[in-house]
Structure 1
Amino acid sequence: MNRRIVIVTAVHTPSAPFLPEAYLSLCEQELPDGWEWHWVIQEDGRTDAVAPYIPQDNRVTFRQGRPGGPGVTRTIALAHAEGEYVKVLDADDLLPPGALARDLAALEADPTIGWATSRVLDLFPDGSTTGFPGDPAHGPIPHGAILDHWKANDFRAPVHPATLCVRRELLLSLGGWMALPASEDTGLLLALNSVSRGWFSRETGLLYRKWDGQMTGQPPHVDPVEREARMAVIEERARALAAFRWRATAKAPSADEVIHSR
């Protein structure tokens, strides 16, 4: 039996037409021997608009549920996701070749690394791309480094939470994504960094699509009153976790687990 990395995608009606492109980017991934991917697509609601775009592939699971926003949608998707690692992929984004293999290499090499991120390129409608200035150095990210940078730079993290790949047990121990109307992935990122070291790859790991309908481009996302509240609760949670001084380290698989995974 192969080991598995689970790809979790929250989708709503406007972003559904991008799913076939996301699927093609998954099919281009080459995983190490003994590994496979499973894509769980969870609709944020119950409509008839998303199903026509779901690929017919045994490696793809589609589920629906009552609306709750992207954080709730991704978290409920974990009920259908069996695998050691969980990778985020927004419905309108793309994975460049090699992205999953690099995540797995970082996490498999060091049990003290709880999560991995990578360089991002914005992808524009004309096909052009642009990167972000100030990427961190390639390699481990120390405890607390994300919060320090985020606080000092107008709540902007040095790595992009849409590139997260995380150990499943660690993700569940933190309760999944934060129950916020937005910035739920940033909240998870800061919580993860409060309890475990991370990893940053200088290789591009995500093409982040820029388009008129994306949720982060809508006026409510930048409402100053709501944004201040989101940032406050994100910071308070991260500092509370850090104060517990809990450090997450992956356990080594038992002999039985190794045998049954073959």
Structure 2
Amino acid sequence: MTAVADRRIDVITAVHAPSAPYLADAYKSLCAQELPAGWEWHWVIQEDGRSDAVRPHVPDDPRVTFHQGRPGGPGVARTIALAYASGPYVKVLDADDQLTPGALARDLALLEADPNLGWATSRVLDLLPDGSTAGFDGDPADGPIARGAVVDYWKANGFRAQVHPATLFVRRDLLLALGGWMALPASEDTGLLLALNTVSRGYFTREHGLLYRKWEGQATAQASHTDDAEREARMAVVAARAEALSCAGWRSSATG
């Protein structure tokens, strides 16, 4: 690495065999990012399991590190990947998604300019199988997000957050203080987002920051993801965590 650790953005990606071929597109989107002088990104790719299928798709680049581990789902893989993150910021990038040009620099500028912000998110475009994109108009206004706003919206709108957790850019110390991603088979990123919003202010930018790939092999397209009993249990523990944090009265130092 040519950048010192305190000027590094650690981009964390959980991957399993079906999504490994998409790493090449994710890598291209990372290489297209332009950061301020002295800043660099470090891509930590963590396989959810140990196979021979992922490594051939990992780019040969000194800015990229690859690790494997016991399977436990994407939340476990991302949390394990934190062991190899040393910079002040963490950016989420799912293996099958792509960053838009300028996304990393925008996120970085927001949190560098305001120490009272703990995290940032942005708009998303769905990347469809034919290569076209589709957006939607349900996003909030551009600007800061008050503590509790995402939680309240999520509860009032069928357990759907108004900002996308796949676009998360977060202070690493805050992420570690909350224990990383939830140990759930799905909704682990939503659980983290709600916990972050409970203890710290965030920011939403209406510039598109992510191409969110839609394909038949993605986890959210599987029948198990919408199983009513499991979904109810996931939502219950996500809500309980946010409520417990709220009742405890803990606030991140990155708050207003």
Say if 2:142 is the partner of 1:138: yes
Counterpart of 2:211 (choices 207, 211, 221) is 207
Counterpart of 1:218 (choices 219, 222, 225) is 222
Aligned residue for 1:235, secondary structure, equals helix
The aligned residue for residue 227 of structure 1 is 231
Aligned residue for 1:97, secondary structure, equals coil
**Partner Cα distance (2:138, 2:24) in 1:** 32
Counterpart of 1:59 (choices 40, 53, 63) is 63
Percent of pairs identical after alignment?
74
What number of residue pairs does the alignment pair up? Answer: 251
Counterpart of 2:201 (choices 191, 197, 212) is 197
CA deviation vs aligned residue, 1:132-160 (integer Å, no higher than 9, x gap): 22101101000000011001100000000
Counterpart of 1:35 (choices 32, 39, 44) is 39
CA deviation vs aligned residue, 1:101-126 (integer Å, no higher than 9, x gap): 01001111111100000000000011
The aligned residue for residue 76 of structure 1 is 80
**Partner Cα distance (1:202, 1:21) in 2:** 23
Counterpart of 1:47 (choices 48, 51, 54) is 51
Asked whether the equivalents of residues 36 and 105 of structure 2 are also in contact (C-alpha less than 8 Å), the reply is: yes
Say if 2:185 is the partner of 1:177: no
The alpha carbon displacement at 1:42 in A equals 0.2
Aligned residue for 2:237, secondary structure, equals helix
**Partner Cα distance (2:254, 2:117) in 1:** 8
Q: What is the letter of the counterpart of residue 25 of structure 2?
A: E
Q: What is the letter of the counterpart of residue 188 of structure 1?
A: L
The alpha carbon displacement at 1:249 in A equals 2.2
Matches within 5 A, 1:87-126: 87-126=91-130
**Partner Cα distance (2:222, 2:72) in 1:** 17
**Partner Cα distance (2:62, 2:190) in 1:** 31
Q: What is the letter of the counterpart of residue 216 of structure 2?
A: D
Structure 2: runs of 5 or more not aligned: none
**Partner Cα distance (1:32, 1:239) in 2:** 38
Deviates more, 1:130-139 or 1:203-212: 130-139
Aligned residue for 1:49, secondary structure, equals coil
Please, what is the CA RMSD of the aligned residues? 1.0
The alpha carbon displacement at 1:250 in A equals 4.1
Asked whether the equivalents of residues 196 and 247 of structure 1 are also in contact (C-alpha less than 8 Å), the reply is: yes
**Partner Cα distance (2:44, 2:232) in 1:** 32
Structure 1: runs of 5 or more not aligned: 252-262
Say if 2:19 is the partner of 1:15: yes
Asked whether the equivalents of residues 113 and 249 of structure 1 are also in contact (C-alpha less than 8 Å), the reply is: no
Asked whether the equivalents of residues 139 and 199 of structure 1 are also in contact (C-alpha less than 8 Å), the reply is: yes
**Partner Cα distance (2:182, 2:124) in 1:** 22
The alpha carbon displacement at 1:247 in A equals 1.7
Deviates more, 1:123-132 or 1:137-146: 123-132
CA deviation vs aligned residue, 1:221-258 (integer Å, no higher than 9, x gap): 0000000000000001001111122221249xxxxxxx
